Amino acid sequence: MKEKGETVTQNHIKSKLRFASLTIITLSWFFVQNLPTFAPLIFWCLTIAGWVIALVIYSWKGRKAPAFLASNERVLRVFDFIFVLGYIWITGGAAQSPYLILIYLGIASVGLYDEKQVGLLYSLLAVAVLLVYDLSYQRFWAEEWKTSYHVVSHIFMLPLFGIMADLLIAHFRHIKQEERAVLEELVASLAKAIGSKDSYTLGHSTRVQHYAVALGEELGLNQEDMFTLKFGAMLHDIGKIHIPSSLLNKPGRLTKEEWDQLQEHAVEGARIVGSLKKLTGVRDIILYHHEKYDGHGYPRGLKGDEIPFLAAIVNVADSFDAMTTSRTYNKPKTVEEGIAELERCSGTQFHPLAAAAAVSLYKESKWPRFKSVEYAAQHPFVSWDEQPIFSSGRQ
């Protein structure tokens, strides 16, 4: 599900590196065609195969290319290595081939887009592969198992690039952690701003965040999506800061004008965070968390897979909490009744996958439970401010 934000950027970097390498290799034909071991047939077979794979990924796969790259990255890296070894074989082996530098750059570029500090590990694996490779190369051309100090010195430069990659990863990770710390403080401040106007909304947002995170974990979301989901769930009602308290807490049915005004909180909330590039995914959650799977939601009337999946998850979490907590205008359902409602409305109001995840968590006794929710079901006429709001942990 990594289709936005940093993951897309990482895949773009990988794509550019691969395209740049293919272009350089294709143009290098003019310089390597006269080498003694050069084999034109192998060279063009590898080159054409590389371009075909690239075209298949970026044209036939279309918009699915980022997800395809993310899920098949390990396989593509193996193919990258095999391709480069093929080019090295026909241009002088590890001792003389101009393409050995591609492996150096490949190891170093790990630090540009990888989440883990594996540059040194990759480089040591590359050293082992290249030593075996060079021995085989010499056996094939010179009919003896040997290597040379010149080759070994070239190959053992790789760990330096691996260490450089790990340093880059550590540097970027530190920057990311600092950015996230600032974002967490910003989100906390915005959440407090909501709570200063309506104590229910702050408690509601906190519970929705717990429900949404549990759903995200059950659905196997990646780290970046979980980051976006966590903040999006906490801020999904930030737009209500511009809605009068008298309207938010009005008992009884709303008039059409009041309902239209209340619906504006989704657009208003998206506007509040819209200028923050790091919260682009959060903006989509805020804007679309009231869209319904059958297209009868607001503000855009999106339906099915048109609705961002993270917003669909928050829709389930938000609706469940609204059903199971006490307000001036409704009698709360029990947790069991709320889960049953999610199951009943799966495919109409709720995304089937998100609703199924909630039901699964409940059946496995992993659905988050709050004493305030349990208390509200047993004491439906007690005001929110008199209810305990602390969590009792999971079921």
* pLDDT surpassing 80 at residue 221: yes
Structure tokens at 14: 């990988």
* DSSP annotation of 346: B
How far is residue 309's CA from residue 311's CA, in Å, rounded to a whole number?
5
**pTM of the complete model:** 0.60
How far is residue 130's CA from residue 135's CA, in Å, rounded to a whole number?
8
% of the chain surpassing 70 pLDDT: 82
CATH of domain 198-394: 1.10.3210.10
How far is residue 231's CA from residue 177's CA, in Å, rounded to a whole number?
15
* pLDDT surpassing 80 at residue 198: no
- Predicted pLDDT of residue 385: 39
| Residues 331-388 pLDDT 10s | 788 889 999 999 999 999 999 999 999 999 999 999 988 765 544 444 433 333 333 3
| Enclosing H/E stretch for 267 | helix 256-273
Where exactly are the structural domains of the chain?
Answer: 5-171, 198-394
Roughly how many angstroms between the first and final C-alpha of the chain, as a whole number? 28
In angstroms, how far apart are the furthest CA atoms of the chain?
91
Tokens 């591609």 label which residue?
102
| Residues 152-177 pLDDT 10s | 887 888 888 888 878 877 887 788 78
According to DSSP, the residues that pair with 287 across neighbouring strands are: none
Collapse the DSSP code of 253 into the 3-class scheme (helix H, G, I; strand E, B; otherwise coil) and give the result.
coil
